[in-house]
């Protein structure tokens, strides 16, 4: 079962540089960039998710009109803009929507189940930033463990991604190997490259 912890951003200062990418819209950042952040590795892009299509449309308009960003690329899954100062690309995901917890439940490895979010408050700033992450996120990241829940949504994609992570020094634990092997039974492998992970990385 997926279990999550929540902490205010001021308790995890390492993520606060992301605040500039959270301005002007209702999206939240989630996924693999946090693995890089907590490993002190350079990040090239961040994935921005939304609870509904309306929120995506508002964010698309914000980044399109913001002089600090330049259009990078577009496909059916995402529309991306690059920050001119930092060169970090913000990828707006437009083919899957949900709350932070709903989206994290769709991610495969526990080390990708981390979200940076914001909500309205009654404080002087009117908004507070917080982190939502898998209870074992930091332990598995430290141990370089790839841990999967039994219910794997995109087994072929997860199989391919596990090989990519292996190149970074991460490995599937014994139970996760069994979960993945079970999920791969009956999976459609006729066209591996077309089984999309829908931007959930």
For Cα atoms 136, 142, 148, give the angle at the middle one, nearest 5 degrees: 45
Using CB atoms within 10 Å of the CB of residue 56, give its burial: 0 to 12 exposed, 13 to 18 middle, 19+ buried.
buried
Of the candidates 3, 1, 7, the one whose C-alpha atom is nearest the C-alpha of residue 134 is 3
DSSP readout, 54-71? HHHHHHHHHHHH-TTEEE
The values of phi and psi at residue 161, to 5°, are -70, -30
In percent, how much of the chain has pLDDT > 70?
91
Q: Tell me the pLDDT band of 197, cut-offs 50, 70 and 90.
A: very low
CB contact at 8 A, 49 and 33:
no
Query: Is 50 exceeded by the pLDDT of residue 77?
Result: yes
């Amino acid at each position: 079962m997926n279990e999550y912890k929540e902490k205010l951003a001021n308790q995890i200062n390492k993520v606060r540089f992301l605040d500039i990418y959270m301005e002007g819209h209702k999206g939240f950042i989630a996924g693999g960039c946090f693995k890089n952040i907590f490993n002190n590795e350079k990040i090239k892009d961040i994935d921005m998710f939304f609870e509904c299509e309306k929120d995506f449309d508002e964010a698309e308009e914000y980044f399109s009109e913001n002089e600090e960003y330049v259009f990078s690329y577009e496909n059916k899954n995402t529309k991306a803009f690059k920050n001119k100062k930092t060169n970090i690309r913000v990828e707006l995901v437009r083919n899957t929507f949900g709350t932070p917890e709903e989206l994290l439940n769709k991610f495969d490895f526990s080390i990708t189940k981390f979200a940076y979010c914001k909500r309205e408050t009654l404080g002087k700033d009117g908004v507070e930033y917080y982190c939502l992450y898998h209870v074992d996120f930091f332990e598995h990241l430290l141990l370089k463990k790839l841990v999967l829940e039994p219910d794997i949504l995109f087994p072929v994609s997860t199989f391919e991604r596990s090989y990519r992570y292996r190149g970074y020094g991460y490995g599937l634990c014994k139970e996760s190997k069994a979960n993945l092997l079970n999920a791969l039974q009956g999976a459609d492998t006729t066209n591996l490259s077309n089984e999309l992970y829908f931007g959930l990385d």
